[in-house]
Amino acid sequence: MCASLYAPTTVRALVGNGSTISVNETTAYPFSDTIQLSLTTTNSVSFPLYLRIPQWTSNSWLQINGQTVASNCPAHSFECLQRAWTNGDQVILHFPRQITLRTWAANNNCVSVNYGPLTFSLQIQENWQPYGNNPAPWTEYGAYPATAWNYGLIVDTNNPAAAFTVLTNAWGVWTNPFSVSTAPISLQAQARKIPAWTLDSLFAVGPVQPSPVYSTQAVETVTLVPMGAARLRISALPTVSTSPAATRWSAPYSYIWAHEACDCLNPGRVNAFRKFRA
């Protein structure tokens, strides 16, 4: 058997010499770092159990019936447990999580924030408004930002984890984990606004400019939520600095050309943009 995707589930299968077993998986992964597998079988049966070790983890370990059988399992691999299994055996996997930053050189050195298997987005409150002329019950809605979104993160690239605080909301796992209001995990970070980073008249976001960006705005605490819970997503954020060498943000202008909205920093240059519309 191979456990390649982790989620709460129960599996019945024929293994070894044709014996039927049941494996019950208890976990809140990817919102937790522990997976428990409980085996039910009518007789002892030998077969290999393969467990996927995710690429993002390090120093992971696993136990069988409370005894550690493997530690520091190699990331991005499969751990094989070959043994005779009996009724009631339990396997526990533990994947330690940590904050990591990924810098996107092709996106002007914006950073994305990861905690274990999850990538995070800035929490933006949503203002839903009817869109188009379809009557109920087929009304379409657009989502627009109801709170500030033009932030740059304050981070120490030498110690990125120190800039973030992890908050947990355990009950959110069992309600709706993919919602801003009930996300099981959120991060708090320090940030400053970038006033020149704005929306145009068509609610298109101006393209990001090279980080770090110069900002002396007041330091604020912002919240990041799992990207899957956010409908309005900014998942690659600029960083900010008060250093005179940091980038001065140039406010773009917008125009309509060939029925498309474009944000331009220089005449003749068309830049990609993201709309705040669901």
Decide if 230 contacts 185 (C-beta within 8 A): no
pLDDT in tens, 4-52: 999 999 999 999 888 999 999 999 999 999 999 999 999 999 999 999 9
| pLDDT classification of 96: cutoffs 50, 70, 90 | very high
The C-alpha angle 257, 261, 262, rounded to 5 degrees, equals 85
Number of H helices, E strands in the chain: 0, 24
pLDDT in tens, 182-212: 899 999 999 999 999 988 777 778 789 999 9
Run of H or E residues at 101: strand 99-104
2-94 folds as Immunoglobulin-like (2.60.40)
Q: Is the pTM of this model over 0.95?
A: no
For the chain, give every domain's residue range.
2-94, 99-275
